[in-house]
Amino acid sequence: MRQGLCSAMRVVGFVAAAAVLHGCDDQKARLLAPTPVVARKVAVAFLDAASGRPIATSLTATVRDADGELSRVTRDGSGGAASTFEVTGGVLAFEVADDATVPLTLTVVGAASGYDSTSVRVEVTGDGSYDRMARMVNIANPPEGVVVAQASAGTANAGGVVQGAGMVATPTEPRSGGSVSFGLPAGTLVTTPSGAPLTGALTATVTYFNNSDTTSLAAFPGGLDVIVPVVGAGGTERGAFISGGFAAIEVRDESGDRAAHFSPPIDLEFAVPAATLNPLTGARVKAGDTIPLWSYDSAMGLWKNEGDFTIASDGAGGLRVEGALSHLTYVNLDWFQGANLCPFPSATLEISGNSALPLLVVVKGDGYYSEQLVTTSTVARLNPVMTIPVVINAYYAGHLVGSVGPFQGLCDQPVPLRVDVSTYVGASCTVRVNRVCTQDATQRAPVGSATVYLLPTTGGSFVGYVAGSTNANGEASFDVAAGIEQTVIVQPLSGETQMSSMLPAAGSNALDFAYMVDCTITGGAGGTVP
């Protein structure tokens, strides 16, 4: 590797429409047409919750509006209307129509074989790029704080009626003592989202997430800052969940069809961690306390309140909640905090000591977690939850570089956070993305609005992030730390993912990506394109 340069690019594939050059000019060749920058772009990195890396398997991402309907304002790489996208390389990028009325709320739902589905909410307020991360749990390799059980749940006849009862329970999660179990009694009618019956052998996958580990709470679908329906009043309300534990339950038949509805409702039991803080009382939970049960429609990305349930003794010194559900897949014991939110803009975090390196700021409390990638010294709308104490930590490349708290009730007050990034020597990198003619490398044009995702691979636990999008010149520049190896992932609006490794040196670095286009050259030294 040359000093001061990112390491050589490794191309992993390309997708580009063939450009046919014609009307040749022996003296001069015109450039390929540049890929323009779009006014409003959304990028979502789907990460494995255990490793933190973008998931390698292909996934399907569906975009819905605030009412759960398929989006009518999202566009694919060619500018055509699209609400469902097939994603490879773990990074999704799409366009929001520049004439769409803003502000608007979009929910991006991701589903992949072998993973629990998840979602992420994107608030589009105007022109610009909107970058998000969504963590997905690999059921074969869950993160700390998560346990999984997969077992037979009985059989269903041709009409979808369960013939042999099945009971499935997760192991006790060792760090919290929590777990979840459910049963499918004989005679239960099991149907798909469209109402078709499931038939044959039924297999259930049950995943329990504790309410204390960062890795578990970070995988909460859509995050713990939520929008929920207002019970009995219509409309929605913004707020936050304080978790008492949650689970993902999936039932499929031997053809792979997924259960969505049960009649009568199925029995469900949570073992509630004894250390759970009840935000209504300020004390640890006890028998007789009530806690709301919520269900999540993973296809729609919407929460539904299933009512309040009473916490009871399990007769062996533990606590439990019993309930019944008529639909799946995520179920969640949570206190919704809406009335306790700070008025906008809430608290402001004032960061000092940073040299513009991207920091992951994490707000963590009992049953609560939120994260935000920041590159500025002032961060608004910091943690609206007032009923629980929280600690605020800042990380770079997986290393803790600053901490403050605990705080409670952060409304309308500045919160100073001093970070120490002196260990990391500042560096910068410019990524350049171009379409290049295979037959004539002088024929090239910049690719705008390509997402650049960085993956630090040394120096601590992984924290990846979207570093930016390329401009009209096909370039994206950002600050990094010298000497920390990175994987750079580029995802254009139209085209496959490309990846390259780099070890930036102090000062300026550069890295080039080429999307090769099959061109037909006719005549002499060059050609033109329409």
261-288 mean pLDDT: 91
Helix (H, G, I), strand (E, B) or coil at 231: coil
pLDDT digits (tens, 9 = 90+) for 157-179: 999 999 877 788 999 999 999 99
Cα–Cα distance for residue pair 500/141, rounded to 1 Å: 26
Do the beta carbons of residue 315 and residue 252 sit within 8 Å? Answer: no
Mean pLDDT of the chain: 83
Q: Residue holding tokens 């920091």?
A: 359
Residue 320 has pLDDT above 60, yes or no: yes
pLDDT in tens, 191-231: 998 899 999 999 989 999 999 998 899 888 888 888 887 76
The residues, ordered by sequence, that sit 6+ positions from 422 with a Cβ below 8 Å of its Cβ are none
10-57 residue pLDDT tens: 333 333 333 333 333 333 344 578 888 999 999 999 999 888 888 889
Reported confidence tier of residue 415, pLDDT bands at 50, 70, 90: confident
CB atoms within 10 A of CB 126: 8
**Least trusted range by pLDDT, from 97-106, 317-326, 467-476:** 317-326
pLDDT at 382: 60
Amino acid identity of residue 406, one-letter, is P
Report which residue type is found at 498.
Answer: Q
Confidence of residue 110 (pLDDT cuts 50, 70, 90): very high
Does residue 3 register a pLDDT over 50? no
- Name, in order, each residue with C-beta under 8 angstroms of 495's C-beta and a sequence gap of 6 or more: 14, 15, 16, 77, 447, 515
By CB neighbour count within 10 A (0-12 exposed, 13-18 middle, 19+ buried), where does 459 fall?
Answer: middle
pLDDT of residue 108: 93
Task: Identify the pLDDT of residue 522.
Answer: 58
Residue 523's pLDDT band, with cuts at 50, 70 and 90, is low
112 to each of 12, 119, 208, how far by Cα in Å? Answer: 21, 12, 19
pLDDT in tens, 428-450: 999 999 999 988 888 889 999 99
Task: Write down the pLDDT at residue 223.
Answer: 85
What is the phi-psi region of residue 407: left when phi exceeds 0, alpha when psi lies from -120 to 50, beta otherwise? beta
Note the pTM of the prediction, 2 decimals: 0.82
Q: Specify the residue for token string 């770079």.
A: 396
The residue among 465, 501, 510, 504 whose CA lies nearest residue 482 is 504
At 275, list the tokens.
Answer: 């250390």
271-277: average pLDDT: 93
Calculate the alpha carbon distances from 506 to 45, 260, 359, 428, 499 in Å. Answer: 28, 54, 19, 8, 22
Number of neighbours of residue 524 by Cβ within 10 angstroms: 11
Contacts of 160 (CB under 8 A, 6+ apart): 189, 190, 191, 196, 197, 198, 199
Give the ranges where 320-374 is alpha helix by DSSP (H).
none
The pLDDT value given to residue 383:
55
